[in-house]
Amino acid sequence: MKTLRGPALFLAQFMGATAPFDRLESIARWAAELGFVGIQVPIGNPAFIDVALAAESRGYCDELRGRVADCGVEITELSTHLEGQLVAVHPAYDELFDGFAPAAVRGNPRARTDWAREQLRLAVRASANLGLGAQAAFSGALVWPYLYPWPQRPAGLVEEGFAELARRWRPLLDAFDAAGVDCCFELHPGEDLHDGVTFERFLDAVDGHPRAKILYDPSHFLLQQLDYLAFIDNYHERIGMFHVKDAEFRPSGRAGVYGGYQGWVDRPGRFRSLGDGQIDFRAVFAKLAAYDFAGWAVLEWECALKHPEDGAREGAAFIREHIIRVTERAFDDFAAAGTDRAANRRLLGLDAS
């Protein structure tokens, strides 16, 4: 068995325009002071990483790793969530998602998709140059507006949507394979890949591509009322990354899983800081340890109530306390009899005269 690495921090919810959150070194020092030993870095801000340069220059990547190490942490993975989102956008969301792309391609879905694909190709080469084995992404969505089967979906609609998603992602997955990096899709509502069944649909459409992996985040499964522990049993061989994020689901006589268009504070299902929600993280960490998950435990802080800096400080300690240092021997080794095959056969009544 292997011991998970961590705690690490996903920077997306903390990057900002003011110190210490505006530069890679200052946010890395801040994270280290809180007790984090790793940081997961989105690619979209050049104050943190120049992804085009990182794709071409191993020297730049070595220098970047050194700067981060001097601050007391290491880069765990790169995040291409927003770029992955733009690989597939249903027209209903064109205007909303344009904000994820540079001004030059806004209002032009084809150009925006081409830009997103190129960013993913740059990022995977950057991941390889940084010595990283996994990269985070969203899948994007073409079928999501038809999630609820009313009006009745036309025959073949879902199948065609997943076939097109596979056509867009297959060349990218091949690029991941060439770089020796796994593409870990965060299964997330709003994406066509949001649970086990949809991941299986996609996996079938890309012929079981070996680089198509899962970023496991139990909070999204709790809010869907999916068994997040059984999910690990079902898909542990495809889990390549782990976001440690808490959530709670409090159904009422007024609203359920759809939330009634309410804001996050009032929705029955909402994200919470670590330890404030309902996820059984002792069981989650135990299952991941039992299945030999050797990746990072990365805090993704999202909470409708608590201040982010408090959530980060508490989250570092929470993860550290939950990581299981796996045993190197069985607990009952002291009682081992040290018998051999001949003795075992005698005990089974075999080879008796």
Q: Is the pLDDT of residue 342 over 90?
A: no
State the Cα–Cα distance between residues 316 and 249, nearest whole angstrom: 24
Q: Is the pLDDT of residue 109 over 90?
A: yes
Torsion angle in degrees (nearest 10) through CA of 134, 136, 142, 145: 140
Q: Is the pLDDT of residue 339 over 80?
A: no
More confident residue, 327 or 105: 105
Q: pLDDT above 90 covers what percent of the chain?
A: 92
State the Cα–Cα distance between residues 220 and 300, nearest whole angstrom: 12
Amino acid at 108: N
What is each CA distance from 208 to 156, 196, 200, in whole angstroms? 21, 14, 9
Q: Is the pLDDT of residue 353 over 60?
A: no
State the Cα–Cα distance between residues 284 and 240, nearest whole angstrom: 15
Axis-axis angle for helices 24-34, 58-70 (nearest 10):
40
State residue 327's pLDDT score: 79
Range with lowest mean pLDDT among 7-11, 189-193, 343-347 = 343-347
State the Cα–Cα distance between residues 167 and 11, nearest whole angstrom: 31
Is there a cis peptide before residue 151, judged by omega within 30 degrees of 0? yes
Q: Which neighbouring-strand residues pair with 314?
A: none
pLDDT tier, 333 (very low <50, low <70, confident <90, very high otherwise): low
State the Cα–Cα distance between residues 263 and 53, nearest whole angstrom: 40
Q: Is the pLDDT of residue 130 over 60?
A: yes
Helix (H) or strand (E) holding 322, with range, is: helix 308-322
State residue 335's pLDDT score: 62
More confident residue, 345 or 52: 52
Q: Which neighbouring-strand residues pair with 216?
A: 242
Closest C-alpha to 302, from 186, 175, 146: 186
Q: Is the pLDDT of residue 1 over 80?
A: no
Q: Is the pLDDT of residue 71 over 80?
A: yes
State the Cα–Cα distance between residues 273 and 125, nearest whole angstrom: 33
Fold of 5-347: TIM Barrel (3.20.20)
State residue 266's pLDDT score: 97
CA 52 to chain centre: 23
Q: Is the pLDDT of residue 20 over 90?
A: yes
Structure tokens that stand for 3 in this block: 């011991």
Q: Is the pLDDT of residue 328 over 80?
A: no
DSSP letter (8 states) at residue 141? B
Specify whether the CB–CB gap between 73 and 37 falls below 8 A: yes
Amino acid at 95: E
pLDDT digits (tens, 9 = 90+) for 254-311: 999 999 999 999 999 999 999 999 999 999 999 999 999 999 999 999 999 999 999 9
pLDDT digits (tens, 9 = 90+) for 28-66: 999 999 999 999 999 999 999 999 999 999 999 999 999
Q: Is the pLDDT of residue 334 over 70?
A: no
Residue the block writes with tokens 């079928």: 143
Domain ranges for the chain: 5-347
State residue 2's pLDDT score: 87
More confident residue, 349 or 185: 185
Q: pLDDT above 70 covers what percent of the chain?
A: 97
